[in-house]
Structure 1
């Protein structure tokens, strides 16, 4: 199973494409998408989540297209999405917000409510199920976002900069969480941070100025770095050797 982009083009403004005839495959169980700010990662993820419609080309998961009207609903049931900015829904409890996300994905109200229990268990938020979602910390709100993305039992989840703004402890919790969930759910995680790369990811894609400049397994990526330093230092050195910096 893989998330496949075929000849995809997308522009936020005319004559300034972010993606141009891009063909790219995400085939790993847990893939990190690295790239500097402005590289086009969020656009790539938005197209993959069917939030953005490509100007040309096709995105598909297990043969289902992200853009076609007939296929889109089923595609969204199988592909979950966690954008960079997660908001609390005013007035809703943690469980109600998770269930609401499931209902928006096409579940019945009863199914969404029932499945919200399991979704919150998976992200370790069961004890906070009755708390108002606006009372959560930043790290807890990110975990609720993941619960929203998997409540309908998604097969693939796309996470855009999920650790931005989190402290080291919160990042550690996130790392453990994704590591556990990746046993049953595939992930593509967009970030410009390399600290946790060797711990949870089995595949790496480096994206710079709308173009993939590396695609392979984690060992191959780390092998681009000179010397025998720590995995964190090697990941940073390999990344720097590939990208030209923020646009």
Structure 2
């Protein structure tokens, strides 16, 4: 497994958000589902080595991440796109992606080719010299994905990357992510139809704990006609949530 978590505890101040979480992920696209406040963003930040664990073990590419030195050594293996990623509006798209390569510790001699490949994979090579502030919302999200995949990291973490995208833009996003099946991708989303279209695995979180981790088909097999939802996957997901979440 490229990514493994054992008995992970994580939180802010005195508040513990994640408690005793275990998770293993290998190549393929996995969805991270859960209501707001479930701990999804906190988990992604921890896996991205932005926030050291409060307790437990985090292992990436067979290396235990137990110090800042270890975190720096594995970051080249990790591409992370937060839900609201920052950028300088005047920065050109190519420079934005090359900056991402620099942040991950990719050698400078590789920046140009790595950025060009990442932009080509998201169909933005024609916009390389366009300033970020002039991009449409959909193009900006694709630039963010290029930032996350530059240099072909083994692990890609995406936090709500389709928020605000129209249906056509979401279809293009699905094509981009589907092409990453040899990578370990963890995609946080609320859009169940995206999960059904591109994800082979599903992880469901609630209140800092994992309620389900398995294949998409295994989750569908838990379909409950008594639950709200229009598809087997939606109803199965809803069946995993406490009653108070089902009526929101």
Answering whether residue 236 of structure 2 is matched by residue 205 of structure 1, we say no
Answering whether residue 25 of structure 2 is matched by residue 20 of structure 1, we say no
Answering whether residue 11 of structure 2 is matched by residue 11 of structure 1, we say yes
Answering whether residue 27 of structure 2 is matched by residue 33 of structure 1, we say no
Aligned to 2:190: 192
8 Å Cα contact 1:86-1:142 kept in structure 2 = no
Using the size of structure 2 for normalisation, the TM-score is 0.91
1:180 offset after TM fit, Å?
1.3
**Gap runs ≥5 in structure 2:** none
Aligned to 1:2: 2
2:132, 2:65 → 1: CA distance? 30
Q: Matched residue of 1:31: which SS?
A: strand
Aligned to 2:223: 225
Cα 1:215–1:2 change in 2 (3 A) is same
1:220 offset after TM fit, Å?
0.6
1:67 offset after TM fit, Å?
4.2
1:223 offset after TM fit, Å?
1.0
1:55, 1:106 → 2: CA distance? 25
1:40-71 CA deviation, whole Å, 9 max, x = no partner? 00001110001111111121112123342232
Q: Matched residue of 2:162: which SS?
A: coil
1:73-103 CA deviation, whole Å, 9 max, x = no partner? 2211001101111233232110111011101
Using the size of structure 1 for normalisation, the TM-score is 0.92
Matches for 1:81-230 after TM superposition, within 5 Å:
81-182=80-181, 184-226=182-224
**Gap runs ≥5 in structure 1:** none
Matches for 1:47-86 after TM superposition, within 5 Å:
47-86=46-85
8 Å Cα contact 2:2-2:61 kept in structure 1 = yes
1:232 offset after TM fit, Å?
6.4
Cα 1:113–1:67 change in 2 (3 A) is farther
